Structure 1
Amino acid sequence: MRVLLVYDYAREEEKRIKKELENRGVNCIPVNVLRTYIDLSSEGEGVAVIRPVAMYTAAYSAAALEAQGFETINNSSTIITAGDKALTYSILRRHKVPIPRTILVLDARPLQEAARLLGYPLVDKPPIGSWGRLVTLIENTHQLKTIAEHRSILGSKQLRVHLLQEYIPSGSTDIRCIVVDDEMIGCMKRIAARGEWRSNVALGARVERYRADGELEDLAIRAAKALGGFFVSLDFFNHPDRGYLVNEVNGVPEFKGFMHATGVNVAAVLVEKIIEHYKR
């Protein structure tokens, strides 16, 4: 069995995946897409694990390898839809997976009207981005106006799109679960750092194991299936009245912190699932 390990920067996660593949006798071929090219006219076969950090680098790499004939994990469609929150929320909503109340605003002109409909406090975020960047808690119209002015000068059109969401009173915590091949392998709770309302590990959040119930497990698997994900992480809020709500899906999931919190060897589970799935 041959597996391409496609990456741009070799983090601990990629090194662990490579080690687990080699430990099982799999022919692992590392491919640094920043140092090589992908010829769409070539023919290929096998499995490609897509791991670039940059979303479009990952999506383009996956699409090109799919054109050659490779099976990709995740596929380009999953990476694109998970990497764009406007697409993620729309797909989840269409599949009846619960999400926070969200209003898409494509231009700043109707922004204040949309905010009045939603009510304050609210969260404003662009459809693309990770690690909590440009995600803002808005308390009033003046703050929203200032944020809109700042975002209006950003070069990317996508960064000038606003996703307004209800603020979920979750105690500055969320729950991250990982699903591999339609099986949830564990969850962790992320607790925001002191003085920070966002619970991203990149912003200093601490993590601990979270024991999931059947409802959370079912939602995680349903959300992963809705986006066609073989290997995804999903972030949930636990609303005091409405239960679990999906806040984000990650198509190229990081898992170093997850492993420390849960004790689950994610790379080993992923490799076992790949071998089992593609040798059927």
Structure 2
Amino acid sequence: MTTMVLAYDYTREEEKRIIRAAKNAGIKLILCNLLESPLDYSDRWDVDAAIIRPVSMFNAVYAASYFESMKVLTVNPSYTILYAGDKVLTYSLLRSANIPIPRTILSLGDDSLYAAAKRLGFPLVDKPPIGSWGRLVSLVENEHQLTTIAEHRAMLPSKQFRAHILQEYIATANADIRCLMVGDEVIGCIKRIARRGEWRSNVALGARVEPYKPDSELIELVHKALTVFKGMFLSIDIFEHKENGYLVNEVNGVPEFKGFIRATGIRVEEILIGKILEKLRR
């Protein structure tokens, strides 16, 4: 019997679906709540694969690296989660692979922050390297707002939140495209449209979702991103620029998919379990 471990910190809809799918596939699934169970390097895990699902990016990276040390197939690997989870690393990796991104400037100090804003012009988008669900992502319309954001972020305890990623604001009717990849397959794409009164298109912020049919150019771009991030289960968020075409905005190494299922009806968890089993048989 195939044995897998599900490493998580909170049980969301996605984790419940994965648990059911594993059970239906006849897999012995060990549940490892990282907030309750220590990871002992002297232990020997007799499992075939580890599915990494913590909400916390750093918990996910650390858990993945731990199971990799046990020579276990890890979905996703720590490299993937780290480079997708830290947006500075994300944009650096995308840029090195000549994958198009929005115009982006990194600021690590007060003087460089205003110099970056001057280069981009207002309005612009300011976000920290770490975070999800649109938290701390700000639409900045003038220098006064930028100063207020910088002052607030300077009070946060983590130095990473004091780094500023400034980006051009792209008029997309407050929508973006999310494509989901399992294995080497694009299983589908959705369009996320921000709720009324909100400019961010995160499902966690109430965005509505609808199916989106990708063209060959978009599929090729997503495959290229998958290659450089080396993951087995990724979601990729993309803007469609009027002049510059598709631009990769973010990559998710521990993707949520309830909104994707709502829009498409595709049972992501079943495909994921099937792809892991397929990889184990090789």
What's the TM-score bracket when you normalise by the shorter of the two chains?
over 0.9
Superposed, 1:34-53 pairs within 5 Å as: 34-44=35-45, 45-53=47-55
Distance 1:96 1:279 in 2: 34
Distance 1:96 1:181 in 2: 22
* TM-score, normalised by the number of residues in structure 1: 0.98
Task: Give the deviation of 1:42 after TM superposition.
Answer: 2.8
Q: Secondary structure at the match of 1:123?
A: strand
Deviates more, 1:111-120 or 1:34-43: 34-43
Q: 2:199 aligns with which of 174, 197, 200?
A: 197
State the secondary structure of the residue aligned to 2:110.
Answer: coil
Deviation digits for residues 7-55 of structure 1 (CA, Å, limit 9, x no counterpart): 1111111111111112111121111111111112333352000001111
| d(CA) in 2 for partners of 1:26, 1:102 | 44
Residue 268 of structure 1 is aligned with which of 263, 267, 270? 270
Question: What per-residue deviation string (whole Å, max 9, x for no partner) do you get for residues 119-164 of structure 1?
Answer: 2111000000111011111111111111111111111100000000
Q: Residue 227 of structure 1 corresponds to which residue in structure 2?
A: 229
SS at match of 1:130: coil
Per-residue Cα deviation, 1:52-109 (whole angstroms, up to 9, x for no partner): 1111111111111111221110011111111100000100110111110100111122
1:218-246: CA deviation from partner (whole Å, max 9, x where unpaired): 11121122111110111100001111111
Moved more, 249-258 or 42-51: 42-51
Query: What does 1:1-280 correspond to in 2, within 5 Å?
Result: 1-44=2-45, 45-280=47-282
Structure 1 counterpart of 2:20, one-letter code: K
Question: C-alpha separation between the residues in 2 aligned to 1:195 and 1:9?
Answer: 30
What secondary structure does 2:136 align onto? coil
Secondary structure in structure 1 of the residue aligned to 2:55:
coil
Moved more, 171-180 or 217-226: 217-226
User: 2: distance between equivalents of 1:70 and 1:32?
Assistant: 18
Q: Which moved more, 1:39-48 or 1:28-37?
A: 39-48
Contact 1:82 1:250 in 2 (8 A): yes
> Which stretches of structure 1, 4 residues or longer, exceed 6 Å deviation after superposition?
none
Q: How many residues align?
A: 280
Answer yes or no: is the 8 Å Cα contact 1:123–1:166 preserved in 2: yes
Q: Kindly provide the amino acid, as one letter, of the partner of residue 107 in structure 1.
A: G
Identity among equivalent pairs (%) = 57
Aligned equivalents of 1:145, 1:32: Cα separation in 2: 40
- Larger CA deviation: 207-216 vs 32-41: 32-41
Q: Unaligned stretches of 5+ in structure 1?
A: none
